[in-house]
Structures are given as structure tokens and as C-alpha cells.
């Protein structure tokens, strides 16, 4: 079982920026990592959980990416999440799966999200339909 530590991932900006998510809490089978923001409402989060259901292991990765804006009411400025993007990935592995099968499945996911996989990139980032 890995110990909770900072997670650093790059965004897809023209000049990629490294974002560091630090451990916030671990409760049971769930670990929460956050990238600090000017206000908690604007914190980006990575949430990882793992549980066994019957003969399967379910591992869930949730990414929460709010867009923070300032709202002024009666001359007082408050931070507010204008909108939030979510990515929710659940992997289900049989208890009989091999380490290599799990590695391959994770590799397929990771590599399918590359910008160079234009069919999926167009559908996921440009919101284009596949025909």
C-alpha cells in the first residue's frame, strides 16, 4: 500500500504547468489530495478510493477542477466556483486478474488520453462527436 505523498501532474497548457496536489485526508479507503487555492472553494482535488465488492476490486479516481472567480456584492468581494469540471474513472479488476493485466489496462487508459490520439482527444477536449 503506497504512503500518501504529494502528487505532481502537468496540465495541457501551451507551456505545461506542473500542479502539486498534497495529501489532505485519508479516511478508510479514500485519500484526498488538494492543490491549494486562494479559497477552499477553488481547490482542485484528486480523490482515490479502493474497495472490494464480491470477487472484484474497484479503484476509483476522481478529479475535481473548479474555476474560481471573484464575485462582488455590496462592495465585498467573495471567491466563488463559477463551474467545476469532473473526471471520474472507475477501474474494476477481478480478484483473479494478474498484475500485468492491471498494468496493461491502466496503460491503455493513460495512453488513450494523449493529445496524439486524435479521435479520443477530439471527443474529450473539443466535445466533438465521433462518426
pTM of the shown model = 0.88
Owning domain of residue 116: 98-131
- Which has more pLDDT, 100 or 41? 100
Q: How far, in Å, CA of 40 to CA of 129, rounded? A: 35
Query: Do 14 and 28 lie in a common domain?
Result: yes
Q: How far, in Å, CA of 65 to CA of 47, rounded? A: 12
9: which residues sit within 8 A by CB, 6+ positions away?
18, 19, 21
Evaluate if residue 1 carries a pLDDT over 90: no
Query: Do 78 and 102 lie in a common domain?
Result: no
Q: How far, in Å, CA of 5 to CA of 7, rounded? A: 6
Least confident interval from 1-5, 54-58, 86-90, 93-97: 1-5
Residue 75 covered by a domain: yes
Nearest CA among 10, 9, 64 for reference residue 32: 64
Amino acid at each position: 500500500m503506497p504512503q500518501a505523498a504529494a502528487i505532481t501532474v502537468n496540465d495541457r497548457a501551451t507551456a505545461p504547468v506542473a500542479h502539486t496536489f498534497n495529501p489532505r485526508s485519508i479516511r478508510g479507503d479514500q485519500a484526498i489530495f488538494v492543490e491549494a487555492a486562494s479559497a477552499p472553494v477553488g481547490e482542485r482535488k484528486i480523490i482515490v478510493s479502493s474497495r472490494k465488492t464480491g470477487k472484484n476490486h474497484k479503484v476509483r479516481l476522481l478529479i475535481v477542477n473548479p474555476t474560481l472567480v471573484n464575485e462582488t456584492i455590496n462592495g465585498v468581494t467573495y471567491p466563488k466556483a463559477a463551474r467545476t469540471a469532473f473526471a471520474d474513472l472507475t477501474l474494476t479488476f477481478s480478484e483473479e486478474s494478474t498484475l500485468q493485466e492491471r498494468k496493461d489496462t491502466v496503460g491503455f487508459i493513460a495512453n488513450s488520453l494523449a493529445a496524439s490520439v486524435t479521435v479520443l482527444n477530439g471527443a474529450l477536449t473539443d466535445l466533438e462527436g465521433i462518426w
